[in-house]
Amino acid sequence: MVKELLGIQYNIAKASRTDRRVQNLASYINEDTLRAIHKTMDKNKAYGIDKVTKEDYERNLEENLANLVKRMKNGSYRPDPTRRVYIPKETKGKMRPLGISCYEDKLVENAIAQILEQIYEAKFYNESLWVSPEQELSSGGKGNHRNGAVSENKLCGGSRYQKFL
What are the pLDDT digits (tens) for 57-72?
999 999 999 999 999 9
What are the pLDDT digits (tens) for 97-107?
999 999 999 99
User: Residue 60 has what pLDDT?
Assistant: 95
Question: In what helix (H) or strand (E) does residue 66 lie, and over which residues does it extend?
Answer: helix 61-74
Question: The whole model's pTM is what?
Answer: 0.66
The rounded mean pLDDT for the chain is 75
φ, ψ of residue 118 to 5 degrees: the values are -65, -40
User: Residue 55 has what pLDDT?
Assistant: 94
Is the predicted pLDDT of residue 92 greater than 70, yes or no? yes
Contact 85, 96 (CB under 8 A): no
DSSP state of 90: S
